[in-house]
Structure 1
Amino acid sequence: MVEFAGLFPLILVVFAAIWQCIVIGYGFYLAGSAADRGARAAAGASAGAAEAACETAALEFVPGGWDASVSCPLDGDLRRATVELSVPVLFPGAFNLPVTIPGTAATTEEGP
């Protein structure tokens, strides 16, 4: 019983570290997928509404509780979507680490 009481906090810390790694991995998935959706939405939109369509589509993919910033500049004939997510501590909606997860995607403009 004494050994269990001594190791239990260590076990909790290990589980918390594993969970934090899972949250970071999920953040990379969210950032990349949101950027991809934003770039695809911008490519199909009219020239004046492409940036708004990109931002709307990208933010719709990111669940609530995650802090995200989206930019969709036109780079030559490519519409490049960049999504940056703040890394939450253990679960979204709590405190954020001072680290952001980037996600980028690009697609060609389809308009005239």
Structure 2
Amino acid sequence: MEFLGVTPLIILLAVALWQCVLIGYTFSLAGNSADEAAHKGAIAQGSRGYACRHAAERELPKVWRESMKRTECRSSSGLYKASVKLRVPVLVPGVFNLPMTIEGNAASPLEAER
């Protein structure tokens, strides 16, 4: 009988832990995506902005790519910087997103154009 009374709390805890996993995974994806974008933008021979934005989207799973807020790419004092903003899904990726965004930032040294 006690187990039945505690079962809703156990389920609530499991749901809260799963949501924390999704938030952590989104942090990881945003950071990795920004890192890839900054690297590709820094070594691009042509349009650095296009290479940066394309690299940021290419590595993301479809659900996060579709909910991506924006990607900013710019050069600044010898570095190429990328900023990626992703929305956090609620429980099931692709169904509903939290109104918060996770931002990943990265920088890579600029390669000279030849």
- 2:44 corresponds in structure 1 to 45
Residues in 2 aligned to 1:27 and 1:33: alpha-carbon distance in whole angstroms: 10
Q: Normalising to structure 1: TM-score of the pair?
A: 0.91
User: For residues 15-42 of structure 1, what are the alpha-carbon distances to aligned partners after superposition, in whole Å with 9 as ceiling and x for unaligned?
Assistant: 0001111111111110000000001101
Q: Normalising to structure 2: TM-score of the pair?
A: 0.89
- 1:24 corresponds in structure 2 to 23
Percent sequence identity is 45
Residues in 1 aligned to 2:58 and 2:93: alpha-carbon distance in whole angstroms: 16
3-state SS of 1:62 partner: coil
Count of matched residue pairs: 110
3-state SS of 1:100 partner: strand
- 1:15 corresponds in structure 2 to 14
Shift of 1:5: 2.3
Residues in 1 aligned to 2:76 and 2:8: alpha-carbon distance in whole angstroms: 51
3-state SS of 1:90 partner: coil
Structure 2 residue corresponding to 1:61, chosen from 56, 59, 62 = 59
Q: Unmatched 5+ residue regions in structure 2?
A: none
Residues in 1 aligned to 2:49 and 2:44: alpha-carbon distance in whole angstroms: 9
- 1:78 corresponds in structure 2 to 79
3-state SS of 1:37 partner: helix
Q: Unmatched 5+ residue regions in structure 1?
A: none
User: For residues 52-98 of structure 1, what are the alpha-carbon distances to aligned partners after superposition, in whole Å with 9 as ceiling and x for unaligned?
Assistant: 10111111111011122211122232211001110111132021111
Regions of 4+ moved over 3 Å: none
Shift of 1:108: 1.9
